[in-house]
A and B are shown apart, each in its own frame.
Chain A
């Protein structure tokens, strides 16, 4: 899948430019994720991409110990999370820094920075989250 392809292209281009951009229906204000071309709530096709801060909370998590294919560039174990982004209803998949292997807590406040994940020959922009100090 090409990064610049599909309804979520502005998300990937935003990360490449250093910003978290997320889609919201211009007509009724519903956040649309996965990104879509039509708001299922009101039928509008006017989608606005809005910048959000890279702050949020942990919705859920897993720590992976098994070497699955496509994760070769990640040191084991690594923590993947679902993060609820502040000030919008969207949850994002991402990774969490895990220096001390402390189990993440659901609801814990986190902040993100933009990094990347090497998969085969590509570097995919990735939000790397850390627990707030």
Chain B
């Protein structure tokens, strides 16, 4: 068993989410509020936070938060490499590494994104990756990069395009029932979805996540310390981050078999081996879906289905709480809950295991957080409200 297994826990969560361009505070101010919220949630003095971890080229260097938070001493400040959302789950592993090794004791995992402060996320992600090979081909946005992979998955590997619609519908179904979601109270109009404008084939508008302003923060401490705090601990059981040979930042020259995947094959392999868990043990999945096809590929990579049986597993009925066998994106996901570089999927992972979800999965004990798919470096994590 990995030393990560059950040794640390999320003790508090905080999130502030706004429609893009409407944040009442600049980015750092929103982030400060989210951190304060996370500490209040746990009943923890924010001045005692001594570490910070982020991902996706977040602009808020932790040392600059110290004054507003009253931080006594900063002991750990680090970032998972990678411009996309691939590092989101890995950030929890990094926080746990700091705590287990004694280099910090109370670590905030965060991501903040306010357009007025940092510009559009899609542009920032591409600034990380753009080169003349891409510019010459007119490939300048994450949607296009993922669209090319999606067409290969659909056409060459025989995955039905209809599967992606099932996933989108499940996200919107949950979002429409989550008061914290951008889609709250609105049923998805199937005709509008199917006839929405093309962005980059095979993606229409509804196949794409849309950005929000806001910030999310998670307080992580040792499992022992978490048990003394206000909320029930949500234990980190495992985390894997990285890329295997034949996958990465390769100008589309990935190994042919890996090309249409979301990059998670080695991540899933390690995650299950390290925890002794398998897809059958996962009660609920929070799936970072930047684009519909990449969400499908992620579920395949994580072992929930194969190219052959994907249409039997990724069905609307099967994906929705409380009755589906593979409840996914129970908060609404990036599509319908909101998109602050995926932080909402991690928030829902914790809420679900605390019984605080708007769409509770009965008796959920183990949840998978599948990080940003298709990025050169990807990561996933497994959380539990028990340590089995």
> Contact residues of A with B, CB < 8 Å?
1, 3, 8, 12, 33-34, 59-66, 68-71, 74, 77-78, 80-82, 90-95, 103, 105-106, 116-117, 119, 124-126
A-B contacts counted at CB < 8 A amount to: 110
Smallest Cβ-Cβ distance to B248: which chain A residue: A34
Give Cα distance in the complex from A66 to B143, angstroms.
10
Contacts of A34 in B (CB 8 A): 249-251, 253
B132 touches A80 (CB 8 A): no
Residues of chain A within 8 A (CB-CB) of B59 are none
- A70 CA / B155 CA spacing, docked (Å): 28
Question: B residues within 8 A CB of A78?
Answer: 138
Q: When the two chains form their complex, are residues B140 and A71 in contact, meaning their CB atoms are under 8 A apart? A: yes
Chain A residue at minimal CB-CB distance from B146: A62
- B139/A66 in contact, CB under 8 A: no
CB contact between A90 and one of B123, B135, B198, B253 (< 8 Å): that residue? B253
Query: Shortest Cβ distance from B152 into chain A, in angstroms?
Result: 4
Measured CB to CB, the closest approach of chain A to B159, in angstroms, equals: 13
Q: List 28 A-B contacts (CB under 8 A).
A: A3-B132, A8-B133, A33-B250, A33-B253, A60-B151, A62-B201, A62-B202, A64-B138, A64-B199, A66-B141, A69-B123, A69-B140, A70-B130, A70-B140, A77-B198, A78-B138, A80-B138, A82-B252, A90-B253, A91-B251, A92-B133, A93-B133, A93-B139, A106-B152, A116-B136, A117-B135, A117-B136, A125-B136
Q: Tell me if B135 and A119 are in contact (CB < 8 A).
A: yes
Chain B interface (Cβ < 8 Å from any Cβ of A):
123, 130-141, 143-144, 147-149, 151-152, 155-156, 197-202, 249-253, 259
Nearest opposing residue in chain A for B151, CB measure: A60
Q: How far is the CB of A112 from chain B (nearest CB, A)?
A: 12
A residues less than 8 Å from B144 (CB atoms): 62, 64, 68, 80
Closest 4 CB pairs between A and B?
A62-B147, A93-B137, A65-B198, A126-B136
Closest B residue to A3 by beta carbon equals: B132
Take A60-B151, A66-B143, A117-B136 as given contacts and tell me if A93 and B251 are in contact as well, using a CB distance cutoff of 8 Å.
yes
Give every chain A residue within 8 A of B199 (Cβ-Cβ): 64-66
Extra contacts besides A64-B200, A66-B199 (8): CB < 8 Å: A60-B259, A62-B148, A64-B144, A71-B138, A93-B139, A95-B138, A106-B151, A116-B136
Q: Is the CB of B136 within 8 A of A62?
A: no
Inter-subunit contact A74/B138 (CB<8 Å): yes
Contacts of B147 in A (CB 8 A): 62
A62 in complex: contacting residue of B130, B151, B250, B251, CB < 8 Å? B151
Whether B253 lies near A60 (C-beta < 8 A) is no
Task: Tell me whether B148 and A91 are in contact (CB under 8 A).
Answer: no
- Chain A residues, CB < 8 A from B253: 33-34, 90-91
Chain B residue contacts of A126, Cβ below 8 A: 136-137
**CA–CA, A103 and B197, complex, Å:** 17
The minimal Cβ–Cβ distance linking B339 to chain A, given in whole angstroms, is: 17
